[in-house]
Amino acid sequence: MTFTPSATSSFSAGAVFWAMVWSVVVKLDELLKLVPFYHPKARVSDRILIWVRSHKILTVTCTEIVNYSIHGVESPLGVCFALGGTFVNILMVTFIVPIWCRLSNLERR
């Protein structure tokens, strides 16, 4: 398989899409402040990050099921898009989320 400009663009688009999904997860508390009945001590994003940190394989499996079920495996560009998402998901689950939890003292909770 050659890496054409359209395949590279698909890979990059998939990586950026899943990076935006993960940024929404991290900033979920800020978004929930817009809901009138949200309690600020709930800290939903912290709970999600702690869960992701303790269930790494399940998180990667679920994100990949969503990733490949949306983009499919029939189109080469769809597969490149999904591979970009796979790269970001594995990077987030194995490196970024544990470091984030350690730096924000979420390990003690």
pLDDT digits (tens, 9 = 90+) for 35-80: 888 787 778 888 999 999 999 999 999 999 998 888 778 888 888 8
Give CB contacts under 8 A, 24+ apart, made by 89-92: 89/18, 89/59, 89/60, 89/63, 89/64, 90/60, 92/18, 92/22
Q: Hey, where are the domains in the chain?
A: 5-103
Which pLDDT belongs to residue 1? 54
pLDDT, mean of residues 73-90: 90
pTM of the model: 0.84
